[in-house]
Structure 1
């Protein structure tokens, strides 16, 4: 063996030993193993992770007011079928929604502001007709619909949110 080969072999051996010591020190730094599966970093199953994620989601839904019911629409109130007799009006609370199903309805408001027709993208002034099967939003209370006085029948509407018949 010549002198260069011997020196090269010694350098390679020293590098391997130094690399091993470095790996050992980083793997067991501060007395803790960094590979998964030891007591400080246990390996978990997919079902365990799924269970914990579901618990976190339920907690967030509870904070948002949706409770333990499933689905995105679970926190929303259901549509209620309401018959509005002729001569009466239905006044919907803040944020309520209404859909006229049967009868000819006109907008009612205690002030000059009207109703938001979400289907047509229009504002309906008080006393103006409300189209059937259009989603009407009530941004503020004190507004509603009543049967058109030119007809003799009442209305059938779907309502989401609080309301009163007056």
Structure 2
């Protein structure tokens, strides 16, 4: 009898498992029909331009956080006219590009300014080539119209500067 009870329990377990599997198969098939369809509202297609815009917005937001929410005025490029008889004096790290006119370097010491286009140092009184990228490693140096020039200079400036009378 004990053997029959074991067979009956085993049979009931097998039938129960079969019923459970039988009930789960249709449910699993129905679950597949509710899976997300690419391009649907649950799984939208995302374009490259959308991603580019989102990344650009995130970068702008991060830059805004780092600069305290204000654009750094020293990073704006400004076109400056330097009249004859005046010096355009740079602060530390300022950058110039002489666009029009003939400029010469002004420096109170023996050091000059860095011409990054040619990779040379231009000392006091020497000409500054037009359309060259000029860096001022230290403030107090600058450019002025060349002697004998009747018109001023047009200079693109990034960084802080001041115009002084000769």
What's the TM-score once normalised by structure 1's chain length? 0.59
State the distance in 2 between where 1:58 and 1:153 align. Answer: 41
Shift of 1:110: 1.5
State the distance in 2 between where 1:109 and 1:81 align. Answer: 22
- The equivalent residue for 2:157 is 159
Q: How many aligned residue pairs are there?
A: 118
1:23-65 per-residue CA deviation (whole Å, 9 max, x = no partner) reads: xxxxxxxxxxxxxxxxxxxxxx9x9xx9xx9998667534532
Shift of 1:134: 0.4
Asked whether the equivalents of residues 80 and 159 of structure 1 are also in contact (C-alpha less than 8 Å), the reply is yes
Query: Which sections of structure 2, spanning at least 5 residues, go unmatched?
Result: 1-43
- The equivalent residue for 1:64 is 66
Query: Which sections of structure 1, spanning at least 5 residues, go unmatched?
Result: 1-44
Partner of 2:150, secondary structure, is coil
| Larger radius of gyration between Structure 1 and Structure 2 | 2
Shift of 1:154: 1.0
What's the TM-score once normalised by structure 2's chain length? 0.59
CA RMSD across the alignment: 3.2
